[in-house]
Chain A
């Protein structure tokens, strides 16, 4: 089954940011925005929930720290203690470099793996692109017509009024997955805060 979407194309980041806020204020939630480079503040303008990726990185990194100390402590003090010049078996100062390295290794590998998994990345995926220029110089705002089919005209007008250079319908084989949005109350509060 084909899924119908409305795509508004912008040619610059500034009108896109303004348009995103205006359209959200008008009461519509875009399904997705595709940009060719990271647009600072777009996730806030859209009302996306904050990412928890850095928290995951911290937790995995802390696991790395514990693993490193545990492993070296077990090996040098429990499993096979060797007396080297009367020095302590559990010689913490000389464990510091490896503990640090393993913390960094765990945190970065863990974060990257979670990044790929959560984004649904796969080498077998050749994504359906709403417009071939979204990895070049176009910023695409996509609306789900299953949800807003009855108000397509209004959204089209809004897009054109807020500076979209092109508005078109697009049918995709695969449905675009949902984004996690903040609640409307939270979103408008955060906009207020940013304004002040």
Chain B
């Protein structure tokens, strides 16, 4: 028998049975699409179209249509790239790292978070590609045998490491996500008829839940989780190497890899919350994405937000302590120079605001969490903007000093990627289960509210009799020695 401490909060509410879980989650993918979904899709598809048009305009005209200049060669494009990649990291953290840590609450949000990862990486990948200017030569980044005198790529460049990191990250996330989807697509298949059934049958690859298949499935998910865990840490470390291995004051720091990874998870969780709070409301999933889930994610936010805050302050301290005037100027200029507003926006959103989550009432407040998730996303976007643009705009020679502002094309592309992201997410939420049905079923017996109530009663009865049930029951991951 499985057992869990009754002190734990239920992760599935409403006395659900296995069938209820199937019914509640799969019904979101059946029937006619709700009006809210159609309106949402209409808006995001329009925004996505604007973005695509701006991308096509960039490709047609060249990146001269952007606000970049000789001094500031990286700006919104790379800011957006790093921001989107960072957002993706929460999905992998939830699905892989929390799997290894056996955190049961991940089952409620992992599916949507992984989907978010994939869509965010798609949006991120667009930026370096269009930034190349001649996108039709993008294959030059791969070490392919060629007729250019066998001229190869430079394996000592972090930009090339990035190519490998991002493409591996995308591939592994996609495989992990899709393999996890197989059993749930099979559930949809067995509920559907006609053409719909045939499509889901093809998508489920003939999954039927055989014991051997589950055995291999568990082995595959565990190993993929084990591989994805160092992978997610490596991806943002390598992204940070793009900056850290250069000699630009403000970039050339060893703190970058951990600081970027923490920031990525920080912003990613904020985006998961933004999406899930909307999805749980629109799709009636309050019993599966409970306040306990939201509180857990807010705890991760306060933790990673504090790491980010400490990293900012460490950067300032190290600059001051180094005695290096260029480094000192770079940081003084961030706070007081022409881009002071972006620096203070970043500081307020990322350092001060997440600290409010130390208050339990606020961690469990949905409206406040939603507001904070937006604030953090804005703050993390400004972090990348500050690092990239403020460090570049004061070049080595004062005659090269410059100022950057985006053109409408850049704004259009950035807003457009949000449209692409939301369009993909809405399509996903309509046709595939947003919550991992099979995984939620597998934690029902330990985290369903009726079972936790039962455990509490058993414990009370045992206490009255003056015996501890800790020794007799098969205690699974619960501290249970206080009444012994």
Within 8 A of B (CB), among A79-127: 79-80, 84, 87, 91, 94-95, 97-98, 100-102, 104-105, 107-109, 111-112, 115-116, 118-127
Q: Is the C-beta of A134 less than 8 angstroms from some C-beta in chain B? A: yes
Within 8 A of A (CB), among B181-236: 183, 186-187, 189-191, 197-198, 201-203, 205-220, 222-224, 227-228, 230-231, 234
Give the most central of B1, B151, B158, B205: most A CB within 10 Å: B205
How many chain-B residues does the 8 Å CB contact rule pick out? 66
CA distance A119 to B204 in the complex (A): 12
Q: Is the C-beta of B175 less than 8 angstroms from some C-beta in chain A? A: yes
Across the two chains, which residue of chain A brings its CB closest to B162? A97
Query: Per a CB cutoff under 8 Å, which of A48, A94, A123 touches B212?
Result: A48
Q: Does B190 contact A136, Cβ atoms closer than 8 Å? A: yes
Q: Does A72 contact B155, Cβ atoms closer than 8 Å? A: yes
CA distance A13 to B17 in the complex (A): 13
Q: Does B234 contact A119, Cβ atoms closer than 8 Å? A: no
Note all chain A residues with C-beta closer than 8 A to B213: 119
Q: Does A38 contact B442, Cβ atoms closer than 8 Å? A: yes
Q: Does B152 contact A36, Cβ atoms closer than 8 Å? A: no
Within 8 A of A (CB), among B138-180: 143, 150-152, 155-156, 158, 160-161, 164-165, 167-168, 171-172, 175-176, 179
Note all chain A residues with C-beta closer than 8 A to B19: 136-137
Q: Does B218 contact A38, Cβ atoms closer than 8 Å? A: yes
Nearest-neighbour CB distance to chain B for A54, whole angstroms, equals: 5
Q: Does B210 contact A33, Cβ atoms closer than 8 Å? A: yes
Query: Per a CB cutoff under 8 Å, which of B191, B212, B230, B437 touches A43?
Result: B212
Q: Does B183 contact A37, Cβ atoms closer than 8 Å? A: yes
Knowing A37-B439, A75-B152, A124-B202, say if A109 contacts B175 (CB, 8 Å).
yes
Within 8 A of B (CB), among A1-42: 13-14, 32-40, 42
Q: Does B223 contact A179, Cβ atoms closer than 8 Å? A: no
Q: Is the C-beta of B429 less than 8 angstroms from some C-beta in chain A? A: no
Q: Is the C-beta of B441 less than 8 angstroms from some C-beta in chain A? A: yes
Q: Is the C-beta of B307 less than 8 angstroms from some C-beta in chain A? A: no
Query: Per a CB cutoff under 8 Å, which of A33, A53, A76, A95 touches B216?
Result: A53
Q: Does A36 contact B18, Cβ atoms closer than 8 Å? A: yes
Q: Is the C-beta of B277 less than 8 angstroms from some C-beta in chain A? A: no
Note all chain A residues with C-beta closer than 8 A to B439: 37
CA distance A43 to B219 in the complex (A): 12
Note all chain B residues with C-beta closer than 8 A to A43: 211-212, 214-215
Note all chain A residues with C-beta closer than 8 A to B206: 120-122, 125-127
Note all chain A residues with C-beta closer than 8 A to B41: none
Note all chain B residues with C-beta closer than 8 A to A79: 150, 152
Q: Does A109 contact B171, Cβ atoms closer than 8 Å? A: yes
Q: Is the C-beta of A135 less than 8 angstroms from some C-beta in chain B? A: yes
Nearest-neighbour CB distance to chain B for A140, whole angstroms, equals: 9
Knowing A97-B161, A97-B238, say if A35 contacts B209 (CB, 8 Å).
yes
Q: Does B190 contact A132, Cβ atoms closer than 8 Å? A: yes
Q: Is the C-beta of A51 less than 8 angstroms from some C-beta in chain B? A: yes
Give the most central of A43, A72, A101, A137: most B CB within 10 Å: A101
Nearest-neighbour CB distance to chain B for A40, whole angstroms, equals: 8
Note all chain B residues with C-beta closer than 8 A to A121: 205-207
Q: Is the C-beta of B291 less than 8 angstroms from some C-beta in chain A? A: no
Note all chain B residues with C-beta closer than 8 A to A116: 205
Knowing A80-B152, A84-B156, A107-B223, say if A35 contacts B172 (CB, 8 Å).
no
CA distance A29 to B185 in the complex (A): 30
A-B contact count (CB 8 A): 191
How many chain-A residues does the 8 Å CB contact rule pick out? 65
CA distance A50 to B219 in the complex (A): 10
Give the most central of A42, A102, A104, A133: most B CB within 10 Å: A104
Knowing A97-B165, A102-B164, A132-B190, say if A112 contacts B220 (CB, 8 Å).
yes
Q: Is the C-beta of B328 less than 8 angstroms from some C-beta in chain A? A: no
Across the two chains, which residue of chain B brings its CB closest to A61? B227
Q: Does A75 contact B209, Cβ atoms closer than 8 Å? A: no
Give the most central of B156, B176, B198, B441: most A CB within 10 Å: B156
Q: Is the C-beta of A159 less than 8 angstroms from some C-beta in chain B? A: no
Q: Is the C-beta of A165 less than 8 angstroms from some C-beta in chain B? A: no
Q: Is the C-beta of B248 less than 8 angstroms from some C-beta in chain A? A: no
Knowing A38-B217, A53-B223, A57-B223, say if A129 contacts B208 (CB, 8 Å).
yes
Q: Is the C-beta of A155 less than 8 angstroms from some C-beta in chain B? A: no
Q: Is the C-beta of B110 less than 8 angstroms from some C-beta in chain A? A: no
Q: Does B187 contact A136, Cβ atoms closer than 8 Å? A: yes
Q: Does A105 contact B208, Cβ atoms closer than 8 Å? A: no
Q: Is the C-beta of B4 less than 8 angstroms from some C-beta in chain A? A: no
Note all chain B residues with C-beta closer than 8 A to A32: 210-211
Query: Per a CB cutoff under 8 Å, which of A39, A136, A137 touches B214?
Result: A39
Interchain residue pairs A-B with the least CB separation, the first 6: A125-B206, A137-B18, A121-B205, A37-B438, A126-B201, A97-B161
List A residues at the B interface (Cβ < 8 Å).
13-14, 32-40, 42-43, 46, 48, 50-51, 53-54, 57, 61, 71-72, 75-76, 79-80, 84, 87, 91, 94-95, 97-98, 100-102, 104-105, 107-109, 111-112, 115-116, 118-127, 129, 132-137, 179-180
30 contacts between A and B (CB under 8 A): A33-B210, A36-B22, A36-B438, A37-B437, A37-B438, A38-B218, A38-B438, A48-B215, A50-B215, A75-B143, A75-B152, A94-B156, A97-B164, A97-B238, A98-B164, A101-B164, A101-B234, A102-B164, A104-B231, A108-B175, A111-B224, A112-B179, A119-B213, A124-B202, A125-B206, A127-B206, A127-B208, A134-B208, A136-B22, A136-B191
Q: A37-B437, A136-B191 are in contact. List 9 more A-B contacts (CB 8 A).
A: A34-B208, A36-B18, A43-B214, A51-B216, A75-B152, A101-B161, A105-B168, A111-B220, A137-B19
